[in-house]
């Protein structure tokens, strides 16, 4: 058996073991149920509060969707534009990556002061949270595109418009997808964290509410829901990326590689 398979088996055993511990430790009284409610109780709480969860999930999803348009849409488009212009890159990229060091969370109270505690402040915050990394990721990705692809198009008599539409845009799709993946994940976190801090609705709000009620099973249930959301989104984008796997292949190696 190869090392990879052995390692995979060990990994599955580890995870299975952890899940088992999740159930056993609290039930055996080794860990207070407040800190770690048994898995089964958590799942039951989720099932029990399904209607409530669904409503708040809806609120959260709406905020996520709108934020994604700004953060990912805006981030990707600016990243593409920035990536295409050497001057813009040299001017703005160092400034932007300098800003990256600033913890964006501190802006949230500012946004609640400006926009109130409703959906708007969450959207502004999550958009700001996801925008910069998406932009940086896209701009970096655009730089890895093989410039020669455009030269070849020119040699075939392509007009400027054709060069952009038929070569540049398709070539950027793998980058766009991976930026979407990154930006989307950040937007999800941004929205939920904002809801946790000050809100009247949404999954984050639920998490906070149950925490103050010391209702651990529901806290864990809501957190699991967020995780499921994040993972589902990630898998969705990965599915799209899989269809473009061959594209990345050829771009990174550049020259004709293997025989």
- Binds other proteins (CB under 8 A): choice among 20, 47, 48, 148: 148
Q: Where are the alpha helices (DSSP H) in 85-215?
A: 86-99, 108-115, 119-143, 148-155, 160-162, 169-197, 203-212
Of 40 and 159, CB closest to other proteins: 159
Is 209 in contact with 56 (CB distance < 8 Å)? no
Structure tokens at 102: 């600033």
Residue reference for tokens 């990154």: 182
Would you say how long the chain is, in residues? 259
- Tell whether residue 241 is a contact of other proteins (CB under 8 A): no
Chain positions 180 to 219 lying near other proteins, rule: CB under 8 A, are 185, 188-189, 192-193, 196-198, 204, 207-208, 211, 214, 216, 219
Cα 97 from Cα 68, distance rounded (Å) = 21
Of 21 and 251, CB closest to other proteins: 251
- Binds other proteins (CB under 8 A): choice among 17, 116, 118, 254: 254
Cα 222 from Cα 133, distance rounded (Å) = 27
Chain positions 15 to 54 lying near other proteins, rule: CB under 8 A, are 15, 34-35
CB of 250 to other proteins, least distance (A): 4
Of 18 and 51, CB closest to other proteins: 18
Of 50 and 231, CB closest to other proteins: 231
CB of 70 to other proteins, least distance (A): 19
To which H or E segment does residue 35 belong? none
Size of the site for other proteins (CB under 8 A): 85
- Binds other proteins (CB under 8 A): choice among 85, 170, 232, 236: 170
Chain positions 94 to 123 lying near other proteins, rule: CB under 8 A, are 94-95, 98-110, 112-114
Structural Rg of the chain based on CA atoms: 23
Of 70 and 210, CB closest to other proteins: 210
Cα 20 from Cα 161, distance rounded (Å) = 59
Name the nearest CA neighbour of 141 among 257, 256, 244, 258: 244
């Amino acid at each position: 058996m190869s090392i990879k398979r052995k390692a995979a088996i060990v990994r599955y055993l580890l995870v299975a073991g952890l899940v088992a511990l999740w159930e056993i430790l609290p039930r055996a009284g080794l860990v207070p149920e407040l800190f770690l409610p048994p898995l089964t109780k958590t799942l039951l709480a989720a099932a029990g509060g399904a209607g409530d969860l669904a409503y708040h999930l809806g609120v959260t999803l709406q905020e996520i969707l709108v934020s994604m348009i700004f953060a990912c849409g805006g981030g990707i488009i600016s990243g593409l534009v920035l990536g295409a212009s050497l001057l813009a890159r040299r001017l703005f990229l160092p400034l932007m990556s300098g800003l990256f060091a600033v913890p964006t969370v501190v802006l949230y109270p500012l946004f609640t002061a400006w926009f109130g505690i409703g959906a708007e402040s969450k959207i502004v915050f999550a958009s700001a949270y996801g925008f910069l990394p998406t932009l940086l990721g896209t701009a970096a990705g655009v730089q890895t595109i093989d410039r020669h692809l455009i030269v070849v198009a020119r040699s075939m008599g392509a007009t400027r418009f054709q060069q952009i539409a038929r070569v540049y845009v398709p070539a950027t799709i793998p980058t766009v997808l991976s930026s979407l993946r990154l930006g989307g994940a950040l937007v999800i976190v941004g929205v939920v964290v904002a809801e946790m801090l000050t809100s009247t609705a949404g999954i984050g709000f639920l998490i906070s509410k149950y925490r103050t009620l010391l209702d651990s099973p529901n806290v864990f249930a809501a957190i699991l829901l967020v995780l499921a959301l994040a993972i589902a989104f990630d898998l969705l984008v990965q599915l799209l990326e899989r269809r473009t796997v061959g594209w990345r292949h050829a771009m990174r190696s550049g020259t004709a590689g293997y025989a």
